[in-house]
Amino acid sequence: MINSLDEAVINALIHRDYSDPTSEVFIGIYPDRIEIINRGTLPLGDSQLKKKHESLPPNPNITMAVFVHGIIEKVGRGTVLITEESGKLGLKEPTWKVKNGFVTLTLYSTARKIQLNERIIRFLRTIRVGESFSRRDYELSFTEKTISERMARDDIRSMVDGGWVSKSGEAMQTIYTRMEVSLPDIAG
C-alpha cells in the first residue's frame, strides 16, 4: 500500500491545477480507504487510467524534476502502477472521480470479495506466473468435464477481478496472464 500511496501523492502533485494558488492536495485517511483530492481534471476515464496510456501532465517542469530525481520511472505509468500494486495486495481496485473541478483518487484498504470455485483453484495451480492463456485454452484444460463458454468467461472474470490474472487484447485476441498474486489460504 505504501508504494501505491507514494505514487498517488506524486501523481496528484504532478497533475494538480496550480492556477488556483489557494488549492492544496488533501489526503483523507479513513478506516477502509485513503482519498487523495486535488484540483484538476482527468483527460481519460477511470478504466483508461488503469492500463497503458499516454500522459500529458499540465506541469511539465514539475514532472521533469521528479523524473530526473528518480521519483517517477516514466510519464504515464503512475496510475497503472497504483492499480497493479492494489491488485498484488488483493485490494479493491482504486478509483478516480472528477467532481466540481477536483480529482479524487480512492485507495481502498479492504480486500476484494472474490469467490473461487474448485475449478478455478485447480487451474491457477497448474500455470506459472507470467504464463498466458486464452478463454479457449481455459475451456480445453478440463479434460474430465467440458465447461461452457459462459462458464469459462465467468471464471476468468473472477480471476481478473481477484488479480490472479491480467487481461490484454480485445475480442478474439484477448489473452490472460498469470500474475504473482497468491491464492487465498482457504483455497482447496
Q: Domains, the chain, ranges and CATH?
A: 2-108 (3.30.565.60), 118-178 (1.10.10)
Which of 24-28, 66-70, 151-155 shows the lowest per-residue confidence on average (mean pLDDT)?
A: 66-70
**In 33-141, where do the E strands start and end?**
33-39, 95-99, 102-108, 132-133
* Alpha carbon distance 13, 62 (integer Å): 8
Q: How confident is the model at residue 129 (pLDDT cuts 50, 70, 90)?
A: very high
Edge-to-edge strands, sheet with 102-108:
26-30, 33-39, 102-108, 95-99
Q: What local confidence, expressed as pLDDT, does residue 75 receive? A: 66
Say if residues 181 and 134 touch (Cβ distance below 8 Å).
no
Q: What local confidence, expressed as pLDDT, does residue 47 receive? A: 60
Q: Which residue has the higher pLDDT, 121 or 187?
A: 121
Instruction: Give me 47's grid cell.
Output: 478504466
Q: How confident is the model at residue 177 (pLDDT cuts 50, 70, 90)?
A: very high
Q: Is 34 helix (H, G, I), strand (E, B) or coil?
A: strand
